[in-house]
Amino acid sequence: MNDKKPIGIFDSGIGGLTVAKRLSQTLPNENIIYFGDTARVPYGSKSNSTVIEYSIQDTNFLMSKDVKAIVVACNTASSVAIPELKKHYDIPIIGMIESGSVMAIEKSTNKRIGVIGTRATISNKAYSREINSIDPTVEVYEKACPLFVPLAEEGWTDHKATYEIVEEYLQELKELEIDTLVLGCTHYPILFSVIQEFMGENVTLIDSGIAAARVVKEEIKNTDLENESDKNGVSEFYVSDIPTTFKKIAELFLGKPIPDIKKVNLETLTV
Amino acid sequence: MNDKKPIGIFDSGIGGLTVAKRLSQTLPNENIIYFGDTARVPYGSKSNSTVIEYSIQDTNFLMSKDVKAIVVACNTASSVAIPELKKHYDIPIIGMIESGSVMAIEKSTNKRIGVIGTRATISNKAYSREINSIDPTVEVYEKACPLFVPLAEEGWTDHKATYEIVEEYLQELKELEIDTLVLGCTHYPILFSVIQEFMGENVTLIDSGIAAARVVKEEIKNTDLENESDKNGVSEFYVSDIPTTFKKIAELFLGKPIPDIKKVNLETLTV
């Protein structure tokens, strides 16, 4: 079947644009609808029931655009809301935690995996639970890196301060001799080079956007939902608020200019 | 009159604890009720109408504790909601922007004042409008410093990275030869020493918590609301959510252990 319907992605904010970028690279002819809930970011500090409610609203918005699959590009929503979303919607729903965990286990040879993320993701132990549910023999070491999000948003990818902060956060994981490191926050791929440089070439970094894009590719193939057009797909971007400097940061994350961003009124989002 | 009723403070989160600390130091025998809306932090990325609605809810909560004055310890709420709050409530309401601006103008001799804050506060030009409404001849230079909040929350008050970041953000203000610098975000007093060291002894830093505490002292004296007890006042702390590591950061900000923090259900906050 040649299915031209778009793939939907939602995130609590703009971090998920790094996932949209990977999705476009992996599936260049697919159309994409992005929704960033910038008015209610961050989800990480909110209760599980609130995150589930917001995730259903975000998904309903994407469904109203007739999407054929949903990527939950927010680590908090991925860890909390996916079972509920799968109950409500009969299309493929792909999260970050499972995709990243599966790829990390594949890449690791010494079975020592590091995971970095926001305070919320790390204190939930979302990745270590997922990784150990697949392979209980893997040692998982988790570390919260709260300064990486604002560093990424500032675009300080090559600043002296960034090197100092990377060393402060990651020295411990380096000493633990991990061979694989999951970037468990959608902002972190912006800091890929400096993290790779510090960890060394023997450590494989897992960009969970790449991992999720791979799963999406498999799922839409298996469910016969591929867009077989030979033209490049079109992406549309929606947000619930447009804060100052939004466009600059969004373009840094997406890796190219965003032609048009549409604002969605929160009142129109329903459960 | 000897008025034992407490003074209320609200903030979008825990930053306002630096203001509570200054208030206790300035008015040691006053009782204090603190409310931090940690479930809905930050206010800076929300629309004005939402910030006003939340500020009214926060104030109603404090009013239910029978407070005699309110300190709006959130720069966003101070810049957006105070006129509306003054319309609704007949007790002294003190904000950060006016208090800090008045003190900065008093301290500056060369009439060149710098202001640092979050992206939201700086892009609103809340301080420069306030300062220039009092004295149009003052030159105000504003600079957003988005990394200062997470640096303060990490407690990295003496880290190499902090010095690098302070230099990156403040070099420009130093070259502009300001003689007064307003710390226009309640988190920034945590970084007071490193900012002072970089700017040099000839630049006066304005801790807006100290400025607000001074205004509160005057207002409750003028309105005959002082607590004339010779005992130390009691402080109570309420928040709308208790995220991980909350207590550690809260105690860093308050400068002493917090004996007990009570959680308020968002559903009970009404407009």
- Other C-beta atoms within 10 Å of A193: how many? 13
In angstroms, rounded to a whole number, what is the distance separating the alpha carbons of residues A180 and A204?
A: 5
- From the list B226, B215, B142, B217, the residue with the least C-alpha distance to B185 is B142
Residue B23 resides in a domain: yes
Same domain, B183 and B259: no
In angstroms, rounded to a whole number, what is the distance separating the alpha carbons of residues B5 and B238?
A: 17
Q: Which of A185, A190, A191, A199 is catalytic?
A: A185
Q: Which of B23, B77, B185, B195 is catalytic?
A: B185
The mean pLDDT of A95-104, rounded to a whole number, is: 97
* Cβ contacts from A onto B, under 8 A: 66
pLDDT greater than 90 at residue A269: no
Condensed to tens digits (0 to 9), the pLDDT of residues B220-229 reads: 999 999 999 9
**A124-148: burial string, b at 16+ Cβ within 10 Å, e else:** bebbbebbbeeeeebbbbbbbbbbb
Same domain, A58 and A125: no
Same domain, A225 and A237: yes
Residues in A closer than 8 angstroms to B147, CB to CB, are 147, 150-151, 154, 161
Condensed to tens digits (0 to 9), the pLDDT of residues B157-180 reads: 999 999 999 999 999 999 999 999
**Side-chain half-sphere of B86: how many Cα atoms within 13 Å?**
11
Q: How far is B50 from chain A (nearest CA, A)?
A: 10
Condensed to tens digits (0 to 9), the pLDDT of residues A55-84 reads: 999 999 999 999 999 999 999 999 999 999
Same domain, A244 and A195: no
Residues of A with CB under 8 A from a CB of B: 38-39, 41, 45-47, 50, 119-120, 123, 146-147, 149-151, 153-154, 159-161, 164-165, 168, 241, 243-245
pLDDT of residue A244: 66
In angstroms, rounded to a whole number, what is the distance separating the alpha carbons of residues B199 and B201?
A: 7
| HEC sequence for chain A | CCCCCCEEEEECCCCCHHHHHHHHHHCCCCCEEEEECCCCCCCCCCCHHHHHHHHHHHHHHHHCCCCCEEEECCHHHHHHHHHHHHHHCCCCEEEHHHHHHHHHHHHCCCCEEEEEECHHHHHHCHHHHHHHHHCCCCEEEEEECCCHHHHHHHCCCCCHHHHHHHHHHHHHHHHCCCCEEEECCCCHHHHHHHHHHHHCCCCEEEEHHHHHHHHHHHHHHHCCCCCCCCCCCCEEEEECCCCCCHHHHHHHHHCCCCCCEEECCHHHCCC
Structural domain ending residue among the three candidates A170, A185, A208: A208
Structural domain ending residue among the three candidates A179, A208, A237: A208
With bands split at pLDDT 50, 70 and 90, how would you rate the model's confidence at B267? confident
Same domain, A13 and A76: yes
With bands split at pLDDT 50, 70 and 90, how would you rate the model's confidence at B271? low
Residue B106 resides in a domain: yes
Q: Which of B56, B67, B73, B74 is catalytic?
A: B74
pLDDT of residue A47: 80
Q: Which domain holds residue B65?
A: 7-95+210-268
What single-letter DSSP state applies at residue B50? H
Q: Dihedral sign, CA of A47, B65, B228, B102? A: positive
pLDDT of residue A271: 67
Residue B61 resides in a domain: yes
Q: How far is A154 from chain B (nearest CA, A)?
A: 8
Subunit contact A45:B46, Cβ cutoff 8 A: no
pLDDT greater than 70 at residue A233: yes
pLDDT greater than 90 at residue A40: no
Same domain, B102 and B197: yes
**Side-chain half-sphere of A27: how many Cα atoms within 13 Å?**
28
Residue A2 resides in a domain: no
Structural domain ending residue among the three candidates A208, A236, A255: A208
Residue B1 resides in a domain: no
Same domain, A103 and A73: no
Q: How far is A68 from chain B (nearest CA, A)?
A: 31
Subunit contact A45:B243, Cβ cutoff 8 A: yes
In angstroms, rounded to a whole number, what is the distance separating the alpha carbons of residues B81 and B89?
A: 12
With bands split at pLDDT 50, 70 and 90, how would you rate the model's confidence at B244? low
Percent of residues, chain B, with pLDDT higher than 70? 99
Chain B residue with minimum CA distance to A165: B161
pLDDT of residue A259: 80
Q: Which of A14, A74, A211, A249 is catalytic?
A: A74
pLDDT greater than 80 at residue B243: no
- Mean pLDDT is lowest, of A225-239, B33-47, B48-62, B128-142, for B33-47
Subunit contact A41:B38, Cβ cutoff 8 A: no
CATH code assigned at A15? 3.40.50.1860
Residues of B with CB under 8 A from a CB of A: 38-39, 41, 45-47, 50, 119-120, 123, 146-147, 149-151, 153-154, 159-161, 164-165, 168, 241, 243-245
Residue A1 resides in a domain: no
The mean pLDDT of B62-76, rounded to a whole number, is: 97
The listed range with the strongest mean pLDDT (A89-98, B33-42, B224-233) is: A89-98
Tell me if residue A145 is catalytic.
no
pLDDT greater than 70 at residue A175: yes
Same domain, B107 and B124: yes
The total domain count for chain B is 2
Condensed to tens digits (0 to 9), the pLDDT of residues A100-130 reads: 999 999 999 999 999 999 988 998 899 999 9
In angstroms, rounded to a whole number, what is the distance separating the alpha carbons of residues B181 and A45?
A: 32
pLDDT greater than 80 at residue B82: yes
Residue linked to tokens 């200054």: B22
Percent of residues, chain A, with pLDDT higher than 90? 83
In angstroms, rounded to a whole number, what is the distance separating the alpha carbons of residues B84 and B217?
A: 23
Nearest-CB residue to A150 (from B120, B146, B168): B146
Residues in B closer than 8 angstroms to A243, CB to CB, are 45, 119-120
Predicted TM-score of the model (pTM): 0.91
Residue B112 resides in a domain: yes
Same domain, B89 and B108: no
Tell me if residue B185 is catalytic.
yes
Residue B2 resides in a domain: no
Condensed to tens digits (0 to 9), the pLDDT of residues A12-28 reads: 999 999 999 999 999 99
Name the average pLDDT for chain B.
94
Q: How far is B230 from chain A (nearest CA, A)?
A: 40
Subunit contact A244:B153, Cβ cutoff 8 A: no
Residues in B closer than 8 angstroms to A50, CB to CB, are 39
Same domain, B48 and B78: yes
- Mean pLDDT is lowest, of B41-45, B122-126, B209-213, B248-252, for B41-45
Condensed to tens digits (0 to 9), the pLDDT of residues A123-170 reads: 889 999 999 999 999 999 999 999 999 999 999 999 999 999 999 999
In angstroms, rounded to a whole number, what is the distance separating the alpha carbons of residues B175 and B177?
A: 5
Condensed to tens digits (0 to 9), the pLDDT of residues A182-230 reads: 999 999 999 999 999 999 999 999 999 999 999 999 999 999 999 999 8
Same domain, B164 and B82: no
- Beta pairing partners, A70: A8, A93
- Name the residue with higher pLDDT: A254 or B45: A254
Same domain, B204 and B105: yes
Interface test with A, best of B38, B118, B153, B154 (most A CBs within 10 A): B154
Environment class of A29 (CB within 10 Å of its CB; exposed 0-12, middle 13-18, buried 19+)? middle
Residues in B closer than 8 angstroms to A168, CB to CB, are 159, 161
Q: How far is A265 from chain B (nearest CA, A)?
A: 11
The mean pLDDT of B233-245, rounded to a whole number, is: 86
